[in-house]
């Protein structure tokens, strides 16, 4: 597996309905080991080990049509992310599976948040995944 280094320090999405977006992201990111770290009025940061990698803040203009992919520890985390996000108000964009256009080791799921942003959880398997649905196309 490739040794990866951080190239983006953090990402911030501006949201319109802060409570609803907070509910969605808190639920969806929990299976990936990310928790709420810092809170200010109408703004919250998420991350692991006190590293605030992703934030949402209420404001204008709202972030739309962006894409962010979160690293998952395993396939189960991807599946749980997908289900938690849908239960919290996201819509399905790409169900969990192996996205073969990226790699036979690329197990991911995609949802649209409340503003149409493409939010992904991805597990980079050390070996090709052979027992999961194969997905094609661009989610």
Rounded to whole angstroms, what are the CA distances from 134 to 88, 99, 105, 125, 128? Answer: 26, 6, 11, 14, 11
Rounded to whole angstroms, what are the CA distances from 92 to 20, 25, 85? Answer: 17, 15, 9
Phi (first) and psi of residue 34, to 5 degrees: -100, 140
Range of the domain at 20: 11-132
How far is 95 from 78, CA to CA, in rounded Å? 10
CATH of the domain at 49: 3.10.180.10
Q: What is the pTM of this model?
A: 0.95
Written as six digits, the tokens of 18 are 């802060």
| Structural domain total, the chain | 1
Residue 34, domain member (yes or no): yes
Q: What is the pLDDT of residues 61-98, one digit of tens each?
A: 999 999 999 999 999 999 999 999 999 999 999 999 99
Residue 5, domain member (yes or no): no
State mean pLDDT over 19-28.
98
Phi (first) and psi of residue 31, to 5 degrees: -65, -15
């Amino acid at each position: 597996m490739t040794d990866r280094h951080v190239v983006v320090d953090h990402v911030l999405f501006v949201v319109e309905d802060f409570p609803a977006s907070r509910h969605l992201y808190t639920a969806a990111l929990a299976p990936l080991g990310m928790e709420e770290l810092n809170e200010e009025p109408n703004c919250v940061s998420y991350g692991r080990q006190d590293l605030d990698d992703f934030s949402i803040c209420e404001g204008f203009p709202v972030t739309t049509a962006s894409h962010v992919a979160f690293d998952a520890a395993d396939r189960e985390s991807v599946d749980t992310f997908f289900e938690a996000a849908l239960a919290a108000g996201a819509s399905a964009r790409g169900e969990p599976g192996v996205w073969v256009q990226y790699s036979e080791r690329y197990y991911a799921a995609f949802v649209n948040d409340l503003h149409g942003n493409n939010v992904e959880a991805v597990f980079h398997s050390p070996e090709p995944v052979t027992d999961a649905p194969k997905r094609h196309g661009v989610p």
